[in-house]
């Protein structure tokens, strides 16, 4: 499998994302919305990893997803909640991203990477969810136990996740990805398929 390491990384991150939605979002309507988002969170990226180089897939994902603040897409409240949960779950599976949502948002604001208005909106959401403080993944024994159960992710598990995404979400990103790959291949002299 192309980019197997990155698919495993994303698979585990997606499970941590869903775990954090279940743990921190209690308001029924928002919880339902965020669980629906958890089912597709980063699946475009995992699907792109099958066809594209990791860097190109990551860049395309960041450019097209409103939960990534690096782009200029319009954002809803729910998009920002997804951003907060994305930040909050990062330490569960990403050793290179040890900060929780509160600390990471403050770091981005201190470094002027994130404007104050957006940072304050994120912190307001964290306050609503009860996570506006400096905690660590190490404080969550239940989360540690759950994440450690995901150590042995296989190619079959990843393919099953991708097939479920494609079959259950007809508006999935696969056609866009394949069109992009075809355009890239034709532009570089490769034979179109």
What is the C-alpha to C-alpha distance for residues 44 and 64, in angstroms, rounded to an integer?
Answer: 10
Residue 192 lies in a domain: no
DSSP 8-class letter at 136: -
Residue 193 lies in a domain: no
Q: Residue 187 — pLDDT band, cuts 50, 70, 90?
A: low
Domain count, the chain: 1
What is the C-alpha to C-alpha distance for residues 189 and 150, in angstroms, rounded to an integer?
Answer: 41
Instruction: Work out the mean pLDDT of the chain and round it to a whole number.
Output: 91
* pLDDT for 49: 95
What is the C-alpha to C-alpha distance for residues 87 and 97, in angstroms, rounded to an integer?
Answer: 9
Domain that holds residue 139: 4-187
| pTM, entire model | 0.89
């Amino acid at each position: 499998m192309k980019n197997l390491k990155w698919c495993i990384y994303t698979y585990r991150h997606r499970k941590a994302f869903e775990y954090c939605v279940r743990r921190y979002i209690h308001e029924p309507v928002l919880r339902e919305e965020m669980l629906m988002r958890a089912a597709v969170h980063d699946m475009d990226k995992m699907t792109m990893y099958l066809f594209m180089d990791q860097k190109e897939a990551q860049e395309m994902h960041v450019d097209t997803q409103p939960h990534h603040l690096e782009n200029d897409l319009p954002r809803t409240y729910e998009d920002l909640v997804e951003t907060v949960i994305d930040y909050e779950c990062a330490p569960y599976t990403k050793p290179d991203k040890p900060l929780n949502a509160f600390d990471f948002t403050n770091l981005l604001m201190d470094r002027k990477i994130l404007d104050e208005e957006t940072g304050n909106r994120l912190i307001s959401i964290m306050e609503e969810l009860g996570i506006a403080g400096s905690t660590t993944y190490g404080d969550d024994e239940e989360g540690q136990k759950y994440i450690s159960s995901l150590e042995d992710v296989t190619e079959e598990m990843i393919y099953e996740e991708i097939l479920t995404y494609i079959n259950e979400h007809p508006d999935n990103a696969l056609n866009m990805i394949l069109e992009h790959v075809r355009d890239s291949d034709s532009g570089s002299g490769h034979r179109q398929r």
